[in-house]
């Protein structure tokens, strides 16, 4: 029996995945890397900031020290944070508020499980804060997805057992993390069919059979 739903943030609740792409693309261009594409950006879904940086740097041939990499990641984050300043509730993806309201009415607990360290500001700026019971994010963890830590921390904060939680994700790393945490998953987003999730839907605005999913 499912008692709590843990939602990933970027690409599931909000469209910030587009802003991540814009910020990484800008950094790549500043470094003289012109071949960084949307396809490369798809590999950054759900993975940490430093791992995402490696995906950009692998498109070029220059070698950077750890110190330089830290500075580059910070540069990207500054650009991303600037883009986040314009964020409002229009960034909330279609069907999100309706799905959460329905689940809350059914007595489900609602959590967020995101490796993003910008999670609190995103929830605040989009007005999603009031929909969420507990947040587990990049500020709470040391290991990024596909490690299960972010979802296990979310379950603990919700005071639920892992098997009582369902994860909603748009990334393969996130689905692997959910499995490793002992949780079932609902895969959404442009790649929902190839994520390996327990259940699949194009997005939270799809006709989802929550009744049977919640029975576990």
Q: Which positions lie near ligand B16, rule CB under 6 A?
A: 8-11, 20, 44-49, 52, 77, 114-118, 138, 171
Query: For ligand B16, which is the closer residue by CB, 94 or 209?
Result: 94
Q: What are phi and psi of 129, to 5 degrees?
A: -45, -45
* Minimum distance, C-beta of residue 114 to ligand B16, in the bound complex (Å): 3
Is 10 annotated in the active site? yes
Q: How distant, in Å, are the alpha carbons of 19, 56, 73, 111 from that of 199?
A: 27, 31, 34, 18
d(CA 145, CA 71): 23
Nearest distance from residue 27's CB to ligand B16, in Å? 12
* Token pair belonging to 102: 């329905």
Collapsed DSSP state (helix, strand, coil) of residue 54? helix
Which listed range, 76-84, 164-172, 196-204, 206-214, lies at the site for Mg ion (CB under 5 A)? 164-172
Among Mg ion, ligand B16, none, residue 115 binds (CB under 5-8 Å by kind): ligand B16
In the set 10, 147, 149, 172, which binds Mg ion (CB under 5 A)? 10
Residue 114 contact among ligand B16, Mg ion, none, beta carbon within 5 to 8 Å by kind: ligand B16
Question: Residue 25 Cβ, how far from ligand B16 at the closest point, in Å?
Answer: 13
Question: Smallest distance, Å, CB 16 to Mg ion?
Answer: 9
Question: Min. distance of Cβ 77 from ligand B16 in angstroms?
Answer: 6
Residue nearest to ligand B16 (CB): 114
Task: Count how many residues are written for the chain.
Answer: 216
CB 88 within 8 A of CB 95: no
Give the Cα separation of 79 and 19 in Å (integer).
9
Partner interacting with residue 4 (select from Mg ion, ligand B16, none; CB below 5-8 Å by kind): none
Residue of 3, 7, 11, 36 interacting with Mg ion (CB under 5 A): 11
Structure token digits, residue 182: 């002992």
Question: Contact, 40 vs 55, CB < 8 A?
Answer: yes
Residues 6+ apart with CB under 8 A from 131: 97, 100, 101, 104, 110
Q: How far apart are the first and last CA of the chain?
A: 5
Residues 27-46 that bind Mg ion (CB under 5 A): 46
Among residues 40, 140, 147, 170, the one that binds Mg ion under rule CB under 5 A: 170
d(CA 14, CA 145): 18
Q: Which residues are catalytic?
A: 8, 10
Q: Which residues bind Mg ion (CB under 5 A)?
A: 8, 10-11, 46, 170-171
């Amino acid at each position: 029996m499912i008692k709590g739903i843990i939602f990933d943030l970027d690409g599931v609740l909000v469209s910030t995945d587009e802003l991540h792409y814009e910020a990484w693309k800008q950094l790549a261009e500043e470094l003289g890397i012109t071949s960084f594409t949307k396809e490369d950006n798809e590999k950054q879904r759900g993975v940490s900031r430093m791992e995402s940086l490696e995906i950009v740097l692998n498109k070029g041939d220059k070698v950077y020290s750890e110190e330089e990499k830290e500075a580059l990641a910070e540069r990207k984050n500054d650009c991303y944070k600037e883009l986040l300043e314009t964020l409002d509730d229009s960034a909330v993806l279609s069907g999100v508020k309706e799905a959460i309201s329905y689940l809350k009415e059914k007595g489900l607990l609602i959590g967020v499980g995101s490796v993003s360290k910008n999670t609190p500001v995103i929830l605040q700026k989009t007005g999603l804060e009031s929909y969420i019971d507990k947040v587990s994010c990049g500020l709470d963890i040391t290991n990024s997805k596909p490690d299960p830590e972010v979802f296990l921390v979310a379950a603990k904060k919700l005071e639920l057992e892992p098997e009582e939680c369902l994860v909603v994700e748009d990334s393969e790393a996130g689905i692997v993390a959910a499995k490793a945490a002992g949780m079932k998953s609902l895969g959404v987003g442009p790649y929902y069919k190839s994520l390996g999730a327990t259940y699949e839907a194009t997005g939270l605005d799809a006709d989802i059979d929550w009744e049977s999913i919640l029975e576990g």
